[in-house]
Amino acid sequence: MTSNPSPHIPGVHAEPSSSARTATGLLAYLLVGLSFGIVLVKSEAASWYRIQEMFRFESFHMFGLIGSAVLTGLVTTAMLRRSGVKSRDGQTIRVTDKEKGWRRYVFGGLTFGVGWGLAGVCPGPIFTLLGAGVWPMLVVLLFALLGTWAYGALQTRLPH
């Protein structure tokens, strides 16, 4: 990303030092995270009650939420890619494709799903609920890290 040599283009000022740019760049991600955290709470996607309601098909709320999120993402991402606009740091917009296959997606997906249904939290809400002062999420986070490490340790022995 930052490895492209600075070309000397007449009339164009030298780029600002990369560390300053990275710092402001990182701040932007903090702000996007902040607003996303607010959305997770305000839309009640971080609510244990709503997740339970969703997994029992007792309300449209979460389905409307995820459905409209996917639809909005689909349309706006397609528009962004078609427009030919470059990213803020001058790259061509590209989406990395997920690895092909199915085993890891079925087995990994099922495992994650069972965990999600138990405590009613997926990774985003773990962080958001911590900020909301739900301290027991520290236990979930700690064990999620342990689970992540366990996958890393067993990776080569699992079907993918």
Partner 1 sequence: MTELLDFLRSPWPWYVGGPLIGLTVPLLLWLGNKPFGISSNLRHACAILLPDRAKPGFFKYNWRAEKWNLMFAAGLVLGGFVAGVLLANPEPARLSAAGVRSIQELGVQVRPGLVPAELADPGNPGVWLLLAVSGLLVGFGTRYGGGCTSGHAITGLATLQGPSLIATVSFFAGGILSANLLLPLFLTVIR
4, 6, 147, 157: which one contacts partner 1 (CB under 8 A)?
Answer: 147
Taking CB under 8 A as the criterion, which residues in 95-134 touch partner 1?
95-102, 104-124, 126-134
Q: How many CB atoms lie within 10 A of CB 21?
A: 13
Q: Does 18 bind partner 1 (CB under 8 A)?
A: no
**Nearest residue to 36 (alpha-carbon basis) of 141, 122, 127, 121:** 127
Residue in 16, 70, 82, 157 binding partner 1, rule: CB under 8 A: 70
Return the structure tokens found at 138: 């520290």
| Identity of the residue, 8 or 31, whose beta carbon is nearer to partner 1 in the bound complex | 31
H/E run at residue 68: helix 61-83
Q: Which is nearer to partner 1, 11 or 102 (CB)?
A: 102
Asked if 146 touches partner 1 (CB under 8 A), the answer is: yes
Fill in the amino acid letter for 132.
A
**82 DSSP 8-state letter:** H
Q: Does 20 bind partner 1 (CB under 8 A)?
A: no
Contacts 24+ apart (CB under 8 A), 56-59: none
Q: With binding defined as CB under 8 A, does residue 30 bind partner 1?
A: yes
Nearest residue to 69 via CA among 33, 93, 100, 45:
45
Q: Taking a C-beta distance cutoff of 8 angstroms, is the pair 101, 160 a contact?
A: yes
- Smallest separation, CB 145 to partner 1 (Å): 6
Q: Taking CB under 8 A as the rule, which mask of x and - marks residues 71-90 in contact with partner 1? A: xxxx-xx-xx----x-xxx-
* Residue 93 contacts partner 1 per CB under 8 A: yes
Q: Which of 10, 24, 135, 157 binds partner 1 (CB under 8 A)?
A: 135
* Residue 49 in contact with partner 1, rule: CB under 8 A: yes
